Chain A
Amino acid sequence: MNNGTAPTRQKDSLADVVEMLLDKGVVINADIAVTVGETELLGIKLRAAIASFETASQYGLEFPEGTDMERVEAASGRGEIGKPPERGLTVRAGATDSDEPDDETSEVVADDASEDTADEESTAETESANASADDDN
């Protein structure tokens, strides 16, 4: 019940941002755009890498907690769209366990097909859940 009235941007909005930027947004279907025709290829690589976001986000980048956005919104009734997330970026890769991001990514990608370790399971489940959700529709 503490939800509702005011929309917020917090660190758990990261999923929204990723989805919006990779899946939404204006797409140019014209020769002038470099990405045309290569989108599939690019998409696969990006998506594969992003499959480890869940892990990476623990070590990498997060939206600022608390955030000025609520204050900004409350103060202005909006018009501005709040504090750019970049200012809240915290890069902590070096400050925590050192064996994370890059190697992990390729492992996750490779293992995705065999879906046998604990970490992959969540990815695999998500995918199959997606598949069945599609079926339902």
Chain B
Amino acid sequence: MSESPADFETGRYLYCVALDDEGTSLSTTGLDDEPVRVVREAGLVAVVHDCTSLYDSDSATQIQRWILTHQSVVDDAGEAFGTPLPFQFDTIVRGDDEALRSWLSDEAETLTDHLDALAGRWEYRIEIVWDEAAAREELEEADDELRDLAERREEASEGTQFLLNKQYESRLDQLVSEQRRAEAADLADRLSGEVTDLVDLGERSTVGLDIGGADEDVDVLARFSVLATDDEQEAVGLLLDDVAADPGIEVRFTGPWPPYTFTPELGGGDAPDEV
């Protein structure tokens, strides 16, 4: 696009779209205390506020406040209308209500299909933390190649020792990594059997940051996001109880969240369940 991001006079900041439930209204405030309202079309509601510029800031505190507010609006919408399709932060539709209605109408089929599929389901996030140090120790004792390297290292000259040490560490890292992946894959398998959908989030936050967590140095074995009904969520809870019974394992189970991770990409070809 050739226009600069700030280059619009009228826009609608879009929080989420949900299936309309006639007679249901929504009263809440959005980013910077903007009044939030719903725009109805084709059996859908878009939850919006009027805006004239993008929301961008160098201030982490500011962005954090916006993000939490955005989330709270989507929560309110979810309470009013059931599971919504939540939009990415800072999604703004150019134009007035008419433009928004016309877009809703164009996308009605896609949006409705996705909302139907998500109905009664919420996103839950699972983080499994393991005792990597203990796993390392066990591997060090169990692996022949490592023991052999350790013995040779004992007797080697300083230069050779350095190289053997490198080899040792690299072999150990590889083993730990293999074990982690095997356990993560096993967990993914077990969880998949209990839920509507599962996405492997990888070991680290995709925003590349550890934020808000109390323990920054924990060793993450795996992170998943699952889409689940209430019943499925209970089954996951039981399964996680079982997983957490291992003293070396800690489980974080958060939710319910709007299904951010299980949303489509709209308007540019179909890429359902884009991750």
Q: Which of B58, B76, B240, B268 contacts A3 (CB 8 A)?
A: B240
The interface centre, meaning the residue of B75, B212, B243, B266 with most chain A CB atoms within 10 A of its CB, is B212
Chain B residues in 8 Å Cβ range of A136: 177, 181
Assess whether B1 is in contact with A31, with CB atoms less than 8 Å apart: yes
Query: Shortest beta-carbon distance, A135 to chain B, in Å?
Result: 10
Given the known interface contacts A20-B260, A24-B88, A35-B92, the answer about A123 and B209 at a Cβ–Cβ threshold of 8 Å is: yes
Surface stretch bound by A, among B19-27, B137-145, B153-161, B199-207:
B199-207
Q: Which of A22, A48, A105, A130 contacts B89 (CB 8 A)?
A: A22
Assess whether B251 is in contact with A4, with CB atoms less than 8 Å apart: yes
Q: Which of B54, B212, B230, B265 contacts A57 (CB 8 A)?
A: B212
Given the known interface contacts A4-B238, A32-B93, A61-B68, the answer about A25 and B210 at a Cβ–Cβ threshold of 8 Å is: no
Assess whether B240 is in contact with A30, with CB atoms less than 8 Å apart: no
| Contact-residue bracket for chain B | 35 or more
The size of the chain A interface, using a CB distance under 8 A, is 87
Assess whether B207 is in contact with A47, with CB atoms less than 8 Å apart: yes
Given the known interface contacts A7-B233, A33-B92, the answer about A81 and B122 at a Cβ–Cβ threshold of 8 Å is: yes
- What's the dominant secondary structure at chain B's contact region? mixed
Chain A residues in 8 Å Cβ range of B14: 28
Chain A residues in 8 Å Cβ range of B202: 133, 137
Assess whether A15 is in contact with B211, with CB atoms less than 8 Å apart: yes
Task: State the total of A-B contacts with C-beta under 8 angstroms.
Answer: 294
Assess whether B257 is in contact with A20, with CB atoms less than 8 Å apart: yes
Assess whether B88 is in contact with A17, with CB atoms less than 8 Å apart: no
Assess whether A85 is in contact with B59, with CB atoms less than 8 Å apart: no
- B-facing mask of A1-32, CB < 8 A → 1, else 0? 10111111111111111111111111111111
Complex Cα distance A100/B234, Å?
42
Given the known interface contacts A5-B234, A34-B54, A46-B56, the answer about A81 and B241 at a Cβ–Cβ threshold of 8 Å is: no
Assess whether B1 is in contact with A37, with CB atoms less than 8 Å apart: yes
Given the known interface contacts A82-B75, A101-B59, A122-B216, the answer about A35 and B54 at a Cβ–Cβ threshold of 8 Å is: yes
Other A-B pairs beyond A6-B253, A25-B86, 8, CB < 8 Å: A3-B240, A29-B267, A46-B89, A56-B64, A57-B212, A126-B204, A127-B208, A129-B204
A-B contact pairs, 5 of them (CB 8 A): A17-B257, A18-B212, A19-B201, A20-B86, A46-B63
